[in-house]
Amino acid sequence: MPKTVTIPAPQPGDVLFNVEEKVFPDHKANPGDKAYIFMHTVPFEGSVGLVNMLTATRLARKGFELSFVLYGPGVLMASAARGYPSVGAEGFPGNLAYNRQLKTLMDEGAKIYACRFAMGALYGMREDDLIAGVIPVNPLDILDLTIQAWRDRALVMTTWTI
C-alpha cells in the first residue's frame, strides 16, 4: 500500500504537547505530614525502582518526612558494592543511578531502611555492603513500619515487582 500522508518528522527542541499547563494545585506537605515508600522491586529490571525514587525525592522536597523502605529484591538498590570494572565506576550510563538517588534522599533528610532478611537470606549481603546511612532493620519491622504509616495517617506508596 502506498504512503498517503507525509508530515515533517519532529526535530530536536520541538515541543509536541503543552508542558506549561498543570491541572491540579502544587500541593505541599502540612507540618508533620509523613510519607512512606515501600519498595519490593528488582533494580535494573524496569524503571519502577528509579521512578519511585524520583517520586520519593519530590515528596521530600514538598516537605514530607520521608521513610523509604527496601525489602525483598529492593534491598539490592542499596548495595555499596556496585560498579564495573571497580566499585564506584559506572559500567554503563545510569549504572549508579540508584546509589546516587538514595544518597540524594538521605542528604535531603529521608530515612532509608533495608530488610536484614532479604539482605542475608536472599542475597548474601552484609550490613557492611549497604550504602552508608542506610538503616538495616529486622524483617518483622516491615509490617511495623506499615502499621506506623497507618497510625501516622501518612501518604503510602507500595511497589511490588518480581
List helix spans (H) across the chain: 48-61, 97-107, 116-117, 140-151
- pLDDT at position 162, please? 66
Question: Rounded to whole angstroms, what are the CA distances from 134 to 22, 62, 109, 151?
Answer: 35, 22, 12, 23
How much is the pTM? Answer: 0.89
Instruction: Per residue of the chain (162 residues), give pLDDT as tens.
Output: 787 888 889 999 999 999 999 999 999 999 999 999 999 999 888 888 899 999 999 999 999 999 999 999 999 999 999 999 999 999 999 899 999 999 999 999 999 999 999 999 999 999 999 999 999 999 999 999 999 999 999 999 998 876
Phi/psi of residue 20, each to 5°? -90, -35
- pLDDT at position 53, please? 93
Q: Note if the bond before 10 is cis, omega within 30 degrees.
A: no
- pLDDT at position 14, please? 93
- pLDDT at position 8, please? 87
Whole-angstrom Cα distance, residue 81 to residue 88?
7
3-class state of residue 74 by DSSP: helix
